[in-house]
Amino acid sequence: MRVGVVGASGYAGSEVVRLGGSHPDLEVVLVTGESSAGVALGAHVPALAARFPDLVLEANESVLEAELDLVFLALPHGKSQALVARLVERGVAVVDLGADFRLKDPALYAAWYGEAHREPGLLARAVYGLVERHREELVGATLIAAPGCYPTATALALGPFVDEGVVEREGIVVDALSGASGAGRATSDRLHFSRLAANAEAYGLTRHRHTPEMEAELAASLLFTPHLVPVARGMLVTAYARLAEPLTTEAALGLLAARYAHDPCVVVTESPPTLKDPVGSNLCFVSAAVDARTGWLVAMSSIDNLVKGAAGQALQAWNVASGRPETLGLPLTGVTP
């Protein structure tokens, strides 16, 4: 299939290109990067030079004229909407890695993203691309909204417990650590080496835009605090929920094991996962512990924010939508050390 990647000059977009190059059924024939148009992809992302020696970054609008079967969009919020509408009209399958089609309520989008949604009629058509929780809905989908990295890690850790009603849906607390690549390729003061190195920083307090996505997926209310840590890749989530009924750590781990027994990209561990465990792979490591003294469940997860949290997840969802094995072309082993 002929594939275009819009936003290939960014971290998530270039990761789609990298993984797409290993997918037996995909041929990446178009890459775009608005501010880098005219630059060879290999010059902009040297890691891709040997695999894609002839690709040159083009303007984003070029995707509307190209003969393509599938397009991955890796753009900031608000930038995908016009492109998606026109691609869908042409019968092109679309996987959007951005936030524009994750929230079904256009009012909620406006409240959290500060602008009206320009294509509200397409929101109902978009299928949320978290395979482990929406596998059946994804079959046959031609417009996929790939989840955010924080909602992915959070929903996979907490989802089984919320679904089974063993924890309260109110008062959930989610703390998360993310590598610097989660902020994108653009520079900012807090990404300068002298500030980032040997440091840790909370941001987006009480108003991080992934909050409504998590709440919608879990049908719960939560307080979310993300933290930036000085690593390139990786994400570690620790979530706290009050128990609605008695539960032991062994039972909590058993619940996770049963829920993910047939999910090839989720690994249940007895010990708390580390941030580095999944780096380089499309895996999510999950674990849990119960504090009987306070009556709280601690649910934990780790992912590579650019793979399972972005590009790998997008490919996994498209594999399912198109009837392919869901792990086709995806790395299931991490990089260590």
What are residue 123's phi and psi, to 5 degrees?
Answer: -60, -40
Give catalytic status of residue 284 as yes or no.
no
Contacts of 158 by beta carbon, 8 Å cutoff, 6+ apart: 167, 172, 174, 218, 220, 239, 241, 299
Which residue in the block uniquely carries the two structure tokens 């037996």? 24
The terminus-to-terminus CA distance of the chain in angstroms comes to 35
**CB of 166 closer than 8 Å to CB of 247:** yes
Out of 149, 220, 253, 290, the active site residue is: 149
Looking at the annotation, which residues are catalytic? 149
